[in-house]
Chains A and B, each alone.
Chain A
Amino acid sequence: MKQYRMDTDKGIEFGLYSIGDHMPNPHTGSMINAEQRIQEFIEASKLADEGGLDVFAVGESHQPHFTTQAHTVLLGAIAQATKNIKVASSSTVLSTSDPVRVFEDFVTLDLISKGRAEIVAGRGSRVGAYNLLGYDVNDYEELFEEKMELLLKLNNEATITWKGQFRAPLNRASILPQPIHGRLPIWRAVGGTPASAIKSGYAGVPIMVAMLGGPSINFKATIDSYRETAARNGFDPATLPVTTTGLFYTATNSQDAQRELYPHLNSGFQAIRGTGYPKQQFAQSPDPRDALMVGSPQQIIEKILYQHELFGHQRFFAQLDFGGVPFDKIARNIELIATEIMPAVKKHTANHKE
């Protein structure tokens, strides 16, 4: 895990991630402007840093309802505003970017943050970036695989000679500057299905698994087949960290958490997918076996520990700002994570040897 700057003896890492959505608060109907939303990411990162959380991540999405398209710029500001917390993407749509520029950006972020930068590379779940930036969505798979290969090569080799179909060839190129610790942690963002995770197993690249709800056990096949594939391809799964994710909302008691979260979830899904979040399904979500992280701090702790029994993962990422959650609630969530949830989770998962 050292290559990924993780110390699993201390228990699993706890991070926050956002996809950068910008929506009205359904409780009040009011919408903050983009300036305020951007400032609030920086404020939230400071609170997370002060609370001792391990990671803060922001992703890009080139669609209506989003603000953090230029996520690397925002991550730069976050790196400058914080001291200890790792700064990562969640995710970088590598398919529609130049891997050389991505690497340069994140190395620079690593230097600004003094060794706290990470890349989570993904394909994007929507076509916005492809349309806007001029890529053919029919090349969806090949674009990503080729660019991911190049990105990993840039991270692992000092002088690069490379040829592919989507970018000009590189001939003994050296990319400057270089990261503080020689290499950046580079992860792959995967959807919930085994097919997507297996691809990361082929390359021995750590995964961050999107988990938008439903029973946690549904993701076990994905994580197991990732590790099996990695092992079959000559990588030691014990050296490859796994991040699970969850839509997250906690309040002192479960009823308040559910009441406060539901409108955000429902209107958020309505806005980006065109279908809301079914109430009946939401009603089942406080169950410890459900992956939607809603409930009292104690319920959330149980859910994360249940997942840890299933997956033995090394990091959990909470998405607690989806669907126009106001800043005071974001701050309250961070406080409960820092004071109640994270200490308990770390205590129970510390020294956990895979």
Chain B
Amino acid sequence: MKIIGISGSIVGSKTRTAMTYTLELARKKYPDAEIELLDLADYELVFSDGRNYSDYEGDTKTVTEAIMAADAIIIGTPTFQASIPATLKNIFDLLPVDAFRDKVVSILVTAGTPKHYLMAEQQLKPILAYMKAHIVPLYVFIEEKDFHRKEIVNDDVLFRLERLVEDTVRYVDAFAGIRAAKDAEYDF
């Protein structure tokens, strides 16, 4: 199983910190899984111009191809102006419309205020649904006060992250099962 984590911003540390924790939990629990973090701050990506993702070059090609090859994607996003950052939206724009077909996508959100709790529901999930993702319904919402000096200091968040990882992997297995059962009905 290939799991890609995306840290969706090129500034700040909270989303990256939360993603590092999350993937660490995943590696411990699922040592056989291939797990990789794509921190958008480490890549120089061009803006989407509408071409097929495989026609890009350099970092843009590397990042999009890694996402397309994954079974599951854990997206970490901060909250900018009550929405996702442009850097993360650009990732979606770079990919084909059905990029997340047969893929599981789960979400963690960082934000400065609890007032942004529904941001993922209103801004992020519609995009993922359009791109045909199997979305893990529960996401983890982490506030600024849950961090201290690049560490997560709220045990509740850690337990939630653990459940997020579990849900992500279980969804991959469940949907693989559904797909296999469906495919078994076909004669081709």
Contacts and interface: CB of A to CB of B under 8 A. Distances in A.
Interface of A: 63, 126-128, 131, 137-138, 255, 258-259, 261-262, 272-275, 278-280, 282-283
B187 A259 contact: yes
Interface of A is mostly: helix
A274 B186 contact: no
Nearest to B100: A275
Contacts of A275: 68, 96, 98-99, 101
A325 to B, nearest CB: 15
Contacts of A272: 52
A137 B182 contact: no
Given A274-B96, A275-B101, A127 B183 contact: no
B188 A282 contact: yes
A127 B96 contact: no
Contacts of B185: 283
Contacts of A63: 55
Given A126-B51, A275-B68, 7 more contacts: A131-B55, A137-B51, A258-B187, A274-B65, A275-B101, A279-B188, A283-B185
Contacts of A137: 49, 51
A274 B53 contact: yes
A56 B185 CA distance: 37
Contacts of B101: 275, 278
B130 to A, nearest CB: 15
A279 B55 contact: no
6 contacts: A275-B99, A278-B101, A279-B183, A279-B188, A280-B182, A283-B188
Interface residues of B, number: 18
A109 B96 CA distance: 38
Given A275-B99, A278-B101, A283 B186 contact: yes
A274 B185 CA distance: 25
Main secondary structure of the interface of B (DSSP, over half): loop
A262 B55 CA distance: 25
B54 interface: yes
A160 to B, nearest CB: 34
A137 to B, nearest CB: 7
B98 A255 contact: no
Contacts of B96: 273-275
Interface string B51-65: 111110000000001
A127 B55 contact: yes
Given A126-B52, A126-B55, A274-B52, A262 B188 contact: yes
Interface string B38-74: 0000000000010111110000000001001000000
Nearest to B182: A280
- Among A131, A255, A275, the one with the most B-chain Cβ atoms within 10 Å of its Cβ is A275
Contact of B188 (A127, A128, A258, A274): A258
B187 A255 contact: yes
A44 to B, nearest CB: 24
B25 to A, nearest CB: 30
A279 B182 contact: yes
Contacts of A282: 186, 188
Nearest to A266: B188
Contacts of B187: 255, 258-259
B172 to A, nearest CB: 17
B34 to A, nearest CB: 19
B58 to A, nearest CB: 14
B68 A274 contact: yes
Nearest to A285: B188
Contacts of A258: 187-188
A131 B54 CA distance: 14
Contacts of A278: 101
Nearest to A131: B55
Contacts of A261: 188
B51 to A, nearest CB: 5
Nearest to B98: A275
Interface string B152-188: 0000000000000000000000000000001101111
Interface in B99-136: 99, 101
Closest 7 CB pairs of A and B: A262-B188, A258-B188, A259-B188, A127-B51, A127-B55, A283-B186, A274-B68
A274 B61 CA distance: 12
Nearest to B99: A275
Nearest to A130: B51
A263 to B, nearest CB: 8
A125 to B, nearest CB: 9
Contacts of A274: 52-54, 65, 68, 96
